[in-house]
Structure 1
């Protein structure tokens, strides 16, 4: 067990990706310091306390993105910090301040704690393909997206795409601070993350699949969507921390796929969902754009097949009573 005797910190630990990260870290023998905004909320805490190894090696801390120094107690004594905490609000009413301030200031607050605490050797930040892919011109089928791409900040501002803007600004601020303060930093950029849920609440990307299965293309207009399995994302975080060669940015996309194709696969996997009429005669003939997988594969990541991810997502949504069939 590679983590034996080592402590690491996971911020925003109750989230979809972070819960899986905590689970895999505990499996590998790490002691995990997990931060949450509210330790009294059973929806945020109970599924973490139920994980194997939690009783012995999971320690919970309350911390807030906008409170300076609030991450110090959790990071104390840790060799690695996984910063996953960042607001995801995709409702049309979400404001720039609600998204950008916590994302940027939260990243800097966590990094400032890392500078103050000498035990920290490496920081892995959970960013998003949102800080890579938001462009003025639509991505064409011949494009191959890679780690050199950045979201167009001016366009994101004009289009009021505050989530995209929050991700690219937080990433920029994080890299600038890391370089100035000699922090060994890696940033990971997952697409829409699916797979089984550990937490009892519905997260945004699982909700995308739920809406698609329930409402068909009304929920997700016929377009191309990039997906990745949550278990692959959590695993990549650990590889990024453990491998000395890991550096810079990593796109994490297992597949780019049309929404109508997702419905076709779901219909084949779960005939009782009766969704075949929701994509009739609408399977695309145009190829999707691609996202380069080379850099992620250099960390030893082999992506889970989309059919497996989708099957596990839908079964999990049923098990947690978000979906009846």
Structure 2
């Protein structure tokens, strides 16, 4: 279903070099990317799932979608401005529905894709991993069928990089086994390791990203991936799936986080820079001291619980063993433009 089709003019396809799609545009990252793209002069196809209740009392998903579309346009100041309204076109696109993705991509030169867990299934397990892989396959297949598409920015996670095969003991580390002394985007999380220790977030992100890369290479789709650390945002809480194994990441010097603005800027940079390629680890915070851990705990826990963390006086500093040098080099001199709106 593509209600937004009424807004799309076939003759406008000649301007597809500034027309991009963002999916899922309703998430923390997706909505911020939409906002930044509009500020940078792009026409944006904002594709999002129905994140509301599936048992809407009026007439289900159509009414919910129309309502969300109107709210989305008002959020970015497009509601009463005809010129701005034409720059933001909203679609309902289910990542498990190939045809809805094709509709959302029509006429676009680029795609920013990030998988958001359904509102009725907000956690990660093996089933979620299978769903994320299917979604990645559908998205990349739709990209291969879109003639105007020049580049895909695929949002993955640092958890698809850092979990390795070695069993943890006093002489060993659970992070990626590699020839170099630090973890970077050359490393891949080991799927069997994740299954053994029930690291479902790492498993899902790894399998989905590998599926996307396999199809991109087979179908000659120009793709880059952003492997972001823990996303810092106002709604972050202790149930965040990324945090499974946080103690091990912390002690191994690979526990990293990223601010929303930096993550959005990284997406803009890898999309607009023609020299970008492959995978990019993305973070601007390393959590490797007691002070860092305490600050994060105070964000994650309710006041009564987080007050206990203030008593920690351990001054241990764990050596950083993860690098984002590749991304930092690419972003040198990058024009970040206007500020990202964080809600």
Q: Shorter-chain-normalised TM-score: which range? A: 0.7 to 0.9
Residue 111 to residue 279, structure 1, CA distance change in 2 (3 Å): same
Show the counterpart of 1:101: 130
Deviation of residue 132 (structure 1)? 0.6
Number of matched pairs: 281
Deviation of residue 158 (structure 1)? 1.6
Deviation of residue 21 (structure 1)? 0.6
Matches within 5 A, 1:1-325: 6-38=18-50, 40=64, 46-47=71-72, 49-52=74-77, 55-87=85-117, 94-97=124-127, 99-137=128-166, 138=173, 143-195=181-233, 202=235, 206-208=236-238, 224=250, 225-258=255-288, 260-262=290-292, 277-300=308-331
Aligned equivalents of 1:262, 1:88: Cα separation in 2: 31
Give TM-score scaled by structure 2 length. Answer: 0.71
Give TM-score scaled by structure 1 length. Answer: 0.75
Q: Deviations over 1:229-271 (max 9, x none)?
A: 11111111111111110000000021221474136558999xx
Residue 132 to residue 162, structure 1, CA distance change in 2 (3 Å): same
- The answer to whether the Cα contact below 8 Å between 2:163 and 2:174 also exists between their aligned partners in 1 is no
Cα RMSD for the two superposed structures: 3.5
Deviation of residue 46 (structure 1)? 2.7
Q: Deviations over 1:4-45 (max 9, x none)?
A: 961100111111111111110010010110111127266787
SS at match of 2:287: strand
Aligned equivalents of 2:142, 2:134: Cα separation in 1: 12
Show the counterpart of 1:306: none
Deviation of residue 283 (structure 1)? 3.0
**Gaps spanning 5+ residues in structure 1: where?**
211-219, 304-315, 321-325
Tell me whether 285-294 or 78-87 shows the greater mean CA deviation. 285-294
**Gaps spanning 5+ residues in structure 2: where?**
1-14, 51-61, 79-83, 167-172, 241-245, 335-341
Q: Deviations over 1:266-300 (max 9, x none)?
A: 8999xxx7966523234342324332121111221
Deviation of residue 187 (structure 1)? 0.5
Deviation of residue 79 (structure 1)? 0.3
Residue 93 to residue 246, structure 1, CA distance change in 2 (3 Å): closer
Aligned equivalents of 1:161, 1:194: Cα separation in 2: 20
Residue 103 to residue 8, structure 1, CA distance change in 2 (3 Å): same
Aligned equivalents of 1:268, 1:125: Cα separation in 2: 31
Aligned equivalents of 2:295, 2:330: Cα separation in 1: 29
